[in-house]
Structure 1
Amino acid sequence: MNDHNTHAAAHAPARRRGRSLVHNTWHLGIKEFHSLLGDWTMLFLIVFMFSVSVYADARAKPESLHRAAIAVVDEDRSQLSTRIVAALQPPQFIAPDLIELGEMDKGMDAGRHTFVLDIPPNFQRDVLAGRAPALQLNVDATRQSQAQTGTGYIQSIVNDEIRAFVLRYSTAAPQPVELVPRALFNPNLSQSWFAAVTSIINNITLLGILLTGAALIREREHGTIEHLLVMPVTPLEIMLSKVWAMGAVVLLASALSLQIVVKGMLGVAVPGSALLFAFGTLLYLFAATSIGIFMGTLARNMPQFGLMAILVLLPLQILSGALTPRESMPELVSTLMAFTPTTHYVSLAQGVLFRGAGLDVVWPQFLMVALIGGFFFTLAHTRLRHTIGKMQG
């Protein structure tokens, strides 16, 4: 009995410390919610980023080509040239303007036309005679995205119309190989599907870092951190409260954005498990909020934190694989980005949401996010303890 009492007494302080940790972390997290509710700027930023920003990113990046301005100089006035003009129609192009040869340069100089297609005289006759006549396509390359994509579209349209026209007069030789493309996960190759989900992923990174870092600096600027120092709370409890509170806000906002904006308003088909994505997001927010706290301990005020956030967020978003595949990056950059949680989170999020991957496929990414998150959490906790120690001293 005495041994049992001694054993129980030895474990009592540990249980009390555990209950104190949970109790203090919970109530400090509730304080973070109250503080956030009083910050109208941050509330507006959260709502805007997961609603208007996601919708705008999807619609501002339309399908590969949308309503491009085009004009045609039809010097042939034949059945074939008429078919080509008729094929250049919305939604890829605005209905073509039929202009004269002398108006071509004026229209390009004034910026009225991105493309001007010049069909030479006797074009149909030369095609049927097998002389391979040349068409001239003038492109306004200052409109870079439309110029590059539109050139391929126009070339494909012209070739298809010529092929269909010629087949009416001659029998084409059979092709030795027929290539049948099959588009998986995005059958219509809709860029807005990819842009909407990528916007949510980037906004999770942005707000996960900004909210926690800004919350810590706000307490330092308002003097509330000194109030916490005279209370029986530890740096670990202060840090855990910010991690779970701000992480819960971002997780809820991203889940609502995925269901209401992406699936509802944009009509994007998301075949993957929303629950698995939420679990991966929760794990990633553990890492992102830790990075935000670490940055908050380094910055002395909010403007300094904002400048630091630019230097951190831009590489994390641009080089993580969300916008450009890592395989196309320089090897050194790809290797360095493998040590950031964002790279692995983007990989698991795209695998789950785009390809419907299960945990058996994306578990390596989950593991890497957890390991890197643990490293940043330890680093942020050490730095926070050092900062608080200096303030107490």
Structure 2
Amino acid sequence: MIFIFNRVWWSRLQAMTWKELLQLLRDPILLIFVIYAFTADIYNAASGVSFQLNNAALVLFDIDRSVASRELAGRFMPPEFRWLGSISNAAQGQRLLDDGKAMAVLDIPPRFGAGLSRGEQKSVQLQIDASNSVQGFLASVDATQIIARYGLEQALVRAGVELNTSGIDAPAINNATRVWFNPNQNDAWFMGISELLNVVTLFSMLLPAAAMVREKERGTIEQLLVSPLSPLQIMIPKVIAMVAVILGGIALGLFGILVPVFSIPVVGSLVLFFVLSILYVSTLAGIGILIATVTNNMAQAGMMVILILAPMMFLSGAWTPPEAMPTIMRLGMYASPLYYYINASYGILMKGAGAMVLWPMFFGILLIGVLVSTATILKFKKQFG
């Protein structure tokens, strides 16, 4: 008797899961949106966003016109800086900054070279358009390094210390920097994986919520409730079907875009990564179904998903390092399942970390999943039981 019951239960589960997949396939707009998000959107994020200074438009206002001023200006080179040319007065540089045609103006004062030759301390002015604060900060940092290096070399030359092709021929501290996991500091690796994880987060909530709300809008939820199916047998197939769809999307984004196009190395266990993804998607699918129990149409469900998604992303640590967050925000970060998923995913894909290292991340997602699933089941049974 128990065997018959189990066989019937599993056959119902299989039939309902297939029904959910067919419903998604019959919604071409949502299906195209899913395919776009796991392909073109990830490609655009990986190829179009950079945290490095590149082609910053620079103009020169050189009043001195000496060998020293030309040598200093010549050190602002591509790919960080791109010369637009020289200007004849300060007002012209201000207009270029105001019009957005130039990002920086290098102003070298008169008698700059003569003052350096006499050992005087001279200053140059760099005006930067910091309306884009990130690019403005990067331009300031790069320019500071260039000018500081030039000033140090001039001081050493005046002190009689010779320079050679290998560097400064004087006692110095050698800063040996080792860049791990992304030695070329390729922004496409970070941005591509980050966008993939964000897309997974979005659809893990949106697809189950859409599947449940669609039942409400079409009135088929009442038909399911009068069938022999229990509320749990109605809810679980939606989670399984959407987990399968999103895992397919992850494989498409990872092996169709990130690895072949951007050469992102996958140094860890793919099995462990997909197990992590199953756990994460199942947790967020519970949130999606919980959203569906308190909304009546797709517009409301979409707004609720955005309302939950935005703080989850900001608290994930992907955009703002945890160390830069206020204390209360850092505490809230531990309530975001995306925080655990991002850390574990980067650990697996780029660092080759194993389960023994990442178990706190798995446990965090599991704990949130248990709490969400409990609340979802209770709310679902109360509304539809």
Instruction: Note whether the superposition's TM-score is higher than 0.5.
Output: yes
1:175 CA drift (Å): 4.8
Counterpart selection for 1:146 from 120, 135, 140: 135
- Asked if residue 36 in structure 1 is aligned to residue 24 in structure 2, the reply is yes
Query: How far apart, in 2, do the equivalents of 1:17 and 1:86 lie?
Result: 81
SS in 2 for 1:69: strand
- Separation in 1, partners of 2:362, 2:204: 17
Structure 1 residues 166 and 272: CA distance shift in structure 2, 3 A:
farther
User: Is the Cα–Cα contact under 8 Å of residues 54 and 196 in structure 1 kept in the other structure?
Assistant: yes
Say yes or no: does 1:237 pair with 2:227: no
- The 3 A distance-change label for structure 1 pair 362 and 137 is same
Change (3 A) 1:354 1:383: same
Deviations 1:163-192 (A, max 9, x none): 446655631784553322222112122222
Distance 1:140 1:263, change over 3 A: same
In the TM superposition, residue 279 of structure 1 has moved relative to its aligned partner by: 1.2
8 Å Cα contact 1:70/1:96 also seen in 2 = yes
Q: Return the match for 1:292 from 267, 288, 293.
A: 288
Moved over 6 A (4+): none
Equivalent-residue separation in structure 1 for 2:73 and 2:58 (angstroms): 10
Q: 1:323 aligns with which of 301, 305, 319?
A: 319
TM-score (norm 2): 0.92
Q: Secondary structure of the equivalent of 2:177?
A: coil
Asked if 1:119 is matched to 2:108, the reply is: yes
CA distance in 2, matches of 1:175, 1:319: 46
Question: What is the CA–CA distance in structure 1 between the aligned matches of 2:96 and 2:109, rounded to whole Å?
Answer: 19
Mapped contact 2:317–2:333 kept (Cα < 8 A): no
Asked if 1:97 is matched to 2:85, the reply is yes
Aligned equivalent of 1:194:
190
- Structure 2: any 5+ residue segments left out of the alignment? 162-167
Structure-1 separation of matches of 2:361 and 2:276: 9
Structure 1 gap ranges (5+): 1-11
CA distance in structure 2 between the aligned counterparts of 1:18 and 1:174, rounded to whole angstroms:
80
Distance 1:340 1:17, change over 3 A: farther
In the superposition, the TM-score normalised over structure 1's length comes to 0.90
The 5 Å alignment of 1:1-393 reads: 12-13=1-2, 15-102=3-90, 103-164=92-153, 167=156, 170-171=160-161, 174-175=170-171, 177-389=173-385
SS in 2 for 1:72: strand
In the TM superposition, residue 253 of structure 1 has moved relative to its aligned partner by 0.6
How many pairs align? 377
Change (3 A) 1:128 1:18: farther
Q: In structure 2, what is the Cα distance between the partners aligned to 1:349 and 1:18? A: 36
String of CA shifts for 1:98-127, please: whole Å, max 9, x gaps. 211242222222221110001122222322
Q: How far did residue 63 of structure 1 move? A: 4.1
- Change in Cα spacing, 1:95 to 1:40, as seen in structure 2 (3 Å) is same
Contact 1:89-1:96 at 8 Å conserved across structures: no
What is the identity, as a one-letter code, of the residue corresponding to 2:100?
Answer: G
Confirm or deny: 8 A CA contact 1:272 1:353 kept in the other structure.
yes
- 1:88–1:368: structure 2 CA closer, same or farther, 3 Å change rule? same
Secondary structure in 1 aligned to 2:56? coil
For the residues of structure 2 that align with 1:201 and 1:49, how far apart are their CA atoms?
11
Fraction of identical pairs, as percent: 33
